[in-house]
Amino acid sequence: MLHRCIRGAVLAAAVLAAPAVLRAQNVTGTAPFTDGSDGGFQVARSPALPAHLPTGTAGDAGFYAAGEFVMLTQTRAIGNQTIARRGFYDLTGEVTGGNGLLVGSGTEALNPRNFSRQTWTPGFNVEIGYRFDDGTRIFANYLQVYDAHYTQGASLVPPLYRTRLDLADTYISSPVFNFSSFFAGPSGKIPDLPDRVVYGIWNAAGQMDIKFTQRYQQAEFGARIPMFMSDYSRVYGIMGGRFGWFFERFRWRTVSFDQEGNATASDAARYTNDLSQRMYGPMIGCGHEVFIADQFSLSLDLTGAALLNVVKMRAKYILESEVTQSKWGRQTWRLTPNLNAAFNAWWYPVEGVQVRVGYQAMSYYNTVYMIDPVGFDFGNIDPGYRFKAFRLVHGFNIGIGFFF
């Protein structure tokens, strides 16, 4: 601010000190009256309304492209379900005297709540558009975040090697039922016990692993329209359409070994549960950019959208040899409101170039999540899903834009 006042005072003094000139005179080389075409100094433009903030000129009318790196994290939306326990089920009652009773401590071996802490994943955001003379921009952008993975496993070795004298806790079991004979598992899993006692791949298994994967994508198109501008700030409206996509996959792999520790593709089973939520709808919002220093400014964008959420749920059991499988699926729709916020610091190093660093948050309401990712009924899998009131994707971004 101070340097602008000083510059204005110097210019005013120069004008007052200059000799008076009549309109009929042919003037050459006098700054206040020439545009530079006759050899004089060119006069800086002074439009009635400012075309841009004093940080610098974003660029003339025309096409532009931008790209940035993002580092985001999102709500880990999965429930608390006991998937496997230490021990094995006495199917025929020959060990315990009761059909289906658990032999062993029954200590929980697998549960999604025991996944590692929430992780951050990298991604990118790209945008192309066109800028008009009045500052209006039409644009299309795409945001992709790479997969976030969470894993957990259980084997024949229990925690701290603590097992019973009968070694029952060296086995892992899950209550899967209604499966076919293709999933019977190997022979001779437990010494001195007939196969019918521990029938099934998921009964007295030697290895189980679970994995949860999350992915997020977003795309937008629309326009940014100037609404108000002063010497040191500008307000603009944002309108258009938005697409958001949450994709989540739960995987569970089980392997049963014989007494010698051998297993084939017919002794291993895989279970997958895919939850896809594609959301489409209109968006509207506004933004405010404020000059803070030479070539630097701050901005805040707020947008909201009403999205139609197309929810697809798919689950299946499949033998690793892929000779047989069981599938289940369902599709539903719901309205998902969405609010996005982006706070950015801008730098205009040269004309036609913009650099920004900031923080962004995307919140979604009324989505779906896997509260019970595993459906143990092989014949009618039907996992448990539940309404998720709030889901958040947020993190940091840094990028650069070029005007052509």
Query: What mean pLDDT do residues 19-35 have?
Result: 40
Cα 91 from Cα 100, distance rounded (Å): 5
For residue range 45-103, what is the model confidence (pLDDT) as tens digits?
334 344 456 665 566 688 999 999 999 999 999 999 999 999 999 998 898 888 889 99
Give the mean pLDDT of 265-294.
96
Contact 338, 370 (CB under 8 A): no
Give CA–CA dist 173/208, Å, rounded: 9
Residue 287, helix vs strand vs coil? strand
Per-residue model confidence (pLDDT) at position 211? 97
Report d(CA 253, CA 154) in Å as an integer: 11
- Predicted confidence band at 16 (pLDDT cuts at 50, 70, 90)? very low
pLDDT digits (tens, 9 = 90+) for 102-126: 999 999 999 999 998 889 999 999 9
The amino acid sitting at 341 is: A
CA 404 – CA 128 distance, rounded (Å): 11
Q: What is residue 343's predicted lDDT score, i.e. its pLDDT? A: 97
What is the token pair recorded at 336? 């998902």
Is it the case that residue 235 has pLDDT exceeding 60?
yes
At residue 231 the predicted structure's pLDDT band, cuts being 50, 70 and 90, is: confident
Sheet holding 108-110, edge to edge: 108-110, 84-86, 172-173
pTM: 0.82
**pLDDT of 324 higher than 70:** yes
Which domains does the chain show, CATH number per domain?
A: 65-79+123-152+208-403 (2.40.128)
